A and B are shown apart, each in its own frame.
Chain A
């Protein structure tokens, strides 16, 4: 190991995106302080600009050789660089939708964007974390920003309630995660992912050590499962999704999932990959429970945000199944699924936000009655999203499920695949129900669906939804990309 108290200045270059983003946050915060209300839009544009520049900086790092800096606690490899670009891209799209929402509900404040940028910084640190502590640090930066993003609608009691719930439960989950980390540290003597990997693959542990590291593993998995929203650590998901302002819900539902998957890869595959057999069974249980409960509970929902919450839980189950396989192709399938999920969720929430009007949230499924009559184009967009989520070819959601099932089957878990498929069939029902509501039901009196969203949002949303079809038709490159990350 190199001397921990000295480092090469040039090695900072691999952390350039993070460094830039942090500086940008400080500058934007200062500028925002001096902006008067009519000019608050400037903060939004600066946010988009800094996200774009950060993304470009991260993009330039793709293809660099793997580098580990900062006393072996920060890694740059292809996974980190690609995930950063994807997260930043998703965040930019999300911000386009967010602006419309915030304006409609008089929530447009500079802090919102600052907090989003901070959350992004946290996630980028998570993606590059190569020590348990860095990972934890990133996770906490993310979580604290998210709590505040929910509570930003401070006049709404249900938003405050959701924020508090998420905060308290998130704190418990963080505690569990930290506890797990301490156990792993206690046995292996290191926080560094690489050293933990060496330790766990080399040593034949005695009974007691094996038990402790297994317990540590359980705590780590639970911490990750909570952040992903997997059953039985999912209780916060529906309440937070419903209670939070829709823009925040969209953010929570999309970008952090990428980061948490990266953390999962770092800890469970890069670090404890040698113990794959020990966490595999746990993953099977969590993912099947998630798929089952996500699919069944969604059937009864009348609130579309709550429905999407349960749908997320079931998607998370599929993603986790990819990690059950223990082979690179399976991990690649899981990453592809995450990508598909993020694109679909962004489009779904995009349509929900699009239909928001001053003081009106299109939250109930019945609000979508006869959408096709008044806004056929966006009804078509939501149709694409729903069909894709239901797993109908040729949309991206079909491939996501298909690749996972294929890997599960070739790993020999036939029963698991069948259970997953049965619930996928059941979940098709509620996606179809939304389609039916949009296309065949008569709109309620006075509901006119006037679309007040600016043109940029309409265009981005259309591209977003069409992407679901396009990637579905040409999944090859995306899957290759996902596979090349491991």
Chain B
């Protein structure tokens, strides 16, 4: 499984908050406040839908796995639609861009698991007494874990379409619609596929967490692997958990073989760097399809139809570059637009403050902020630990091509594996040996996320130029100097990519990792994640939302103050071209 070189689309250019954040942060957070408050009001005496009873019999697992996968697929389809519309709007209209891009950036930082509880209430209220509500809620949760980075990637691709291809499209007089399908989408595909894979591997974590949702005193369990595990936890059935782990492993492997690998092999032709070199990704399934003549003939009409849609001329929106409007007019337009955006944000913020003021006090904010600091300390320590372990190991593995080829797929598999399935095992251990939950629960946060560091570092080390290594050997550079001056700078950009993803994963995982249970044993660490989880269990909406808001702000600051400058430095200083 050789993935193309990672690009951080999760981190747009530019450092430190820009002025648009001043609008975007309150805009997103106040919409959340109001949405949650509204959903809460709507519910009233909510009756949990009666789905079929879940069974711990392993023979049901294939069916549950199918349901789980189906949810993933639907969410992915939704994410693609979102990507094509949202990112296109942001890339094509400067006015839309100044608000859509910062909003997307903020959305990325909101912990997905935090708001599952009130999206559930909302969707249940939409379909009273029907299991469809819970299904939508779970799918929506997965969608929100997948869509943002895909949209970012697409947006960035649209902004970097090569000028000559852009000109030739105009010279051949493509309509806007034709240009989109002939030029822009193909150009964006490699980045988009990479981000889809990252989204997918992240998605398993959330699908597992969002299938079993407590609504008031009930727990709605949708048929799926996540629900199966949650039932096993309730019944303290360690054997069932083993079966679930096995099933999940098979599902992820199948996913890779039957979905992503063919996709990656197919999209290889969309790579726009024309040079040869770089090995071509292979997929036996794709080979099979390409060679199966009957199948090809059968699908030919479909392909023909799709092509017809792509070449549909559409309205001729584009008729030359057009003359820019006079300056004064443009200025007036901009001013009006920004004033409108600011006014809407202000209004929403005001509404949110009014709604929440009676139920929360300043001390609530202090508590949440304090707990947030605790969780942040955890994240920092865990990333440091994971770095200390995996950075040197990853480098050593990456420098040995044979070994790297063996380890890389395993690391990528582990990154995709939903670590929360393993939590119960950890709880049993902690209880058995009466360990300190504040310390040992923390480790769960990095359980799934650490692999991102490993496989990115391996990727970086395996493309490290041989001549530089030879030169270092020739100068007899060794020991600490070798790490400091020769290798680490070359691997640094890759490491940062991995560490950013890992840190995002940690924050999200804190909500499930700081607050875990096994049957009726509950373990809890002190932190913002536990705060949100506890509030969720109690159905305490104001506190959930406060927790989410505080965590979002922490994540945003963390990204802006730490990761972006580091990434900027990696790009400027340690580029290897």
State whether these chains interact. Answer: no
Interfacial residues, chain B to chain A (CB-CB below 8 A): none
